[in-house]
Amino acid sequence: GENVEQHPSTLSVQEGDSAVIKCTYSDSASNYFPWYKQELGKRPQLIIDIRSNVGEKKDQRIAVTLNKTAKHFSLHITETQPEDSAVYFCAVPPGTASKLTFGTGTRLQVTL
C-alpha cells in the first residue's frame, strides 16, 4: 500500500510568519495530492489540492508545490493568522486508486 510520511508533527509560528509542511509518498503512480485542515472538534475540510500534471498551485495565502521526481509535496501558508491554527493532513491515493491514504497530521499553532 501507499506509505505517506508527514513532517513536522507540530509547528509553532508567530502571527505573520510562514509555515511549511511536507509530505513524502512511495507510489510513483500517485496522481492527486490534497491537503485537509481540521479545526478542533470539526470535520476535515479540503483547503487545496494539486494534480500530477502541475508543479505548483496557489490560492490566496495557501500554496502547494509538488516534486514528482523526489515524490514529495508541500503546503505553504504565508502571513499566518490565529485562525490558521489547526491540524493539517496531507493525503495520497495508492497509484490511481479512488481512495486516499492520509499522513499523520501536523498540529499548527499560530501565536500572537
Q: Which residues bind other proteins (CB under 8 A)?
A: 1, 31-32, 34, 36, 38, 40, 42-46, 49, 51, 87, 89, 91, 93, 96-105, 107
Contact 42, 66 (CB under 8 A): no
Q: Does an H or E element contain 63, and which? A: strand 62-67
Q: Measuring CA to CA, how many Å separate 25 from each of 17, 58, 92, 99?
A: 27, 21, 7, 15
Angle, CA of 85, 73 and 59, to the nearest 5°: 55
Q: Does an H or E element contain 109, and which? A: strand 106-111
Q: Which is nearer to other proteins, 77 or 88 (CB)?
A: 88
Q: Which is nearer to other proteins, 77 or 93 (CB)?
A: 93
- What is the nearest approach in angstroms of other proteins to the Cβ of residue 29? 11
Contact 95, 79 (CB under 8 A): no
Q: Which is nearer to other proteins, 19 or 108 (CB)?
A: 108
Q: Which is nearer to other proteins, 80 or 89 (CB)?
A: 89
- What is the nearest approach in angstroms of other proteins to the Cβ of residue 3? 11
- What is the nearest approach in angstroms of other proteins to the Cβ of residue 83? 17
